[in-house]
């Protein structure tokens, strides 16, 4: 029988906060579907675009924001937008995250 500490997220699932509206966070699930979760059930300080790891432990859910993964995804997305902006060459306003 394996034991897990509160900080063992090796079997956790990653979800992405797609948006925040009022008291709810719209969360993109690993399969691409979305669900609305109560914001007060999410980790403190969660923001749109954050990657959150969720793990079920002893009948309860534990969540934590993966700041490093969030930063990497934002940098990748911004890089893609920068490439699109450079290729457009129209002189119109750039798109940024």
CATH number at residue 34: 2.40.50
Does some domain include residue 63? yes
Read off the pTM: 0.73
> What is the extent of the structural domain holding 47?
13-88
| Secondary structure element (H or E) that encloses residue 72, with its range | helix 67-88
pLDDT tens digit at each of 97 positions of the chain: 333 344 555 568 999 999 999 999 999 999 999 999 999 999 999 999 999 999 987 788 899 999 999 999 989 988 888 888 887 766 566 666 6
With beta carbons less than 8 A apart as the criterion, state whether 39 and 46 touch: yes
Structure-token match 């009022």, residue found: 22
With beta carbons less than 8 A apart as the criterion, state whether 73 and 82 touch: no
Q: How many domains are contained in the chain?
A: 1
Tokens, residue 39 = 């914001």
Does some domain include residue 25? yes
Q: How many CA atoms lie within 13 A of 46 on its CB side?
A: 28
């Amino acid at each position: 029988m394996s034991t897990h500490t509160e900080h063992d997220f090796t079997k956790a699932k990653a979800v992405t906060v797609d948006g925040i509206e009022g008291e709810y966070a719209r969360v993109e699930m690993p399969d691409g579907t979305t669900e609305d979760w109560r914001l007060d059930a999410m980790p403190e300080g969660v923001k749109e675009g954050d990657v959150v790891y969720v793990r079920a432990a002893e009948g309860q859910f534990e969540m934590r924001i993966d700041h490093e993964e969030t930063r990497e995804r934002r940098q990748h997305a911004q890089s893609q937008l920068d490439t699109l902006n450079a290729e457009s060459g129209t002189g119109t306003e750039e798109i940024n995250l």
